[in-house]
Amino acid sequence: MERRRYLIEIGTGVDMHGGDVTKAAQKAVKDAISHCCMAGIREIHNAGPRDVALQIKICCPRPEELDLAQVRKPVDFYDDIELVPARGGASEKGLHVAEMGAGDTLVVAVAIITVYLKK
């Protein structure tokens, strides 16, 4: 089955208190997908979610710590999702607020979503 790139979108997410890369990555995915209105998939190509594949590159300071099952939740209504963890994003000493997470590290994750139309 041929896959053609339809859309590329970028989002960012931050965990302000606790340095949780999974929380930051999930927010980045939500941010990126919220910028997408893929009307052309249905209106031009007469396709739906089963005709779409997503590749999501997640760039964060500690990609080995990502819980990929949690990261994909904002887009799990799509069947064909490839998650690609990568080193990137940013981290900085922040403020420890015990009620909001462990530690005082602020982490930023970047999600790059490529939407493919499968035809």
Give the start-to-end residue ranges of the domains of the chain: 3-118
| Position 113 pLDDT exceeds 80 | yes
| Position 71 pLDDT exceeds 90 | yes
| Confidence band for 12, pLDDT divided at 50, 70 and 90 | very high
- Whole-number pLDDT of residue 101: 67
CATH of 3-118, one of 3.30.1330.20, 3.40.190.10, 2.40.30.10, 3.30.300.180: 3.30.1330.20
- Whole-number pLDDT of residue 13: 98
Average pLDDT of every residue of the chain: 93
Cβ-proximal residues to 88 (8 Å cutoff; 6+ apart), any chain: 59, 60, 61, 110
Using only C-alpha atoms, the chain has a radius of gyration, in whole angstroms, of 16
- Whole-number pLDDT of residue 27: 98
